[in-house]
Amino acid sequence: MNTSTAPAVLEGKTALITGASSGLGFAMAKALAANGASVLITARSEDKLKEAVQQLQQYGDVQGTPMDVRDEDSINKVLGWVKAQWGKLDILINNAGIGMRTVNLNFLTDPKPFYEVSAEGFRNLIDTNLTGYFLVAKAFAPLLVAQGKGKIVNISMNHETMKRKGFIPYGPSRAGAESLSYIMAEDLKENNIDVNMLLPGGATETGMIPEGLLETLKDNSFLLSPDVMAEPIVFLASDESNGITGERIVATDFAAWKQTMQTQKN
């Protein structure tokens, strides 16, 4: 059931969002479904995925299937699902990621130098946040190319995370994902496929911030709601954004960015 009063601007569109059982992915799934899109969300945890789907179905057509973005076989199973159930894909959103707390639980209050990060921890985060984006896009790009159209949105974070003390390997993973996005946009431009980046624009209430610090940030109103992603992701999934590619869009500045784009277009 679509509870949104907004017009169903995405009616007939299909969207796949990785890592969408919570946080930014969940918020984007809610926005897309509420605007008429059929949405498939993925995550590693089947229990969390099932719970998320149950919550999201009140907004529209949402289904879920497990996927590990580090595993090509797992990705290909989801590709098979998309081909069998939809026969097409309009928008792929690479969102699955893990945070600094996987290598240092107290990364904000007690940052560690890069040489104290374990090789295993580094590889695990890069495999998810960077290689995962590559593997998922690599699997689905041929489908988009065959269609002759499509959109890919890669979720990123502020540039501060890419140069902040104690932020290896998270910073490099996001910097790498941005370079990946720019090159993907160039590689796919001739195929009528738009590739853009979207980031919240500040610290966001997701599972990547330690609980103790989370409460402090909430009390000081420093945290953005994941719903800040709603308006820009609906725009990027819509026909209104056709031909816009290679852009880095900050959700908190979306209105100003969109106005600038419209001015340039006119």
For residues 174 and 206, give the distance between their C-alpha atoms in angstroms, rounded to a whole number.
Answer: 16
For residues 7 and 4, give the distance between their C-alpha atoms in angstroms, rounded to a whole number.
Answer: 8
For residues 7 and 244, give the distance between their C-alpha atoms in angstroms, rounded to a whole number.
Answer: 22
Burial class (CB in 10 A: 0-12, 13-18, 19+), 31: buried
- The single residue of 59, 115, 133, 170 carrying the catalytic annotation is 170
**Residue 115 catalytic?**
no
Question: Letter for the amino acid at 221?
Answer: S
What are the residues whose beta carbons fall under 8 Å from the beta carbon of 229, sequence distance 6 or more? 24, 27, 28, 31, 198, 200, 251
Contact assessment for residue 188 and residue 197, using Cβ atoms and an 8 Å cutoff = no
Contact assessment for residue 8 and residue 33, using Cβ atoms and an 8 Å cutoff = no
Q: Give the pair of three-digit tokens for residue 156.
A: 């990123």
The alpha carbon dihedral of 123, 124, 129, 134 has a sign of positive
Q: How far apart are the first and last CA of the chain?
A: 37
* Residue 260 DSSP code: H
Instruction: Return the closest-CA partner of residue 131 out of 161, 104, 159, 154.
Output: 154
What is the set of active-site residues?
170
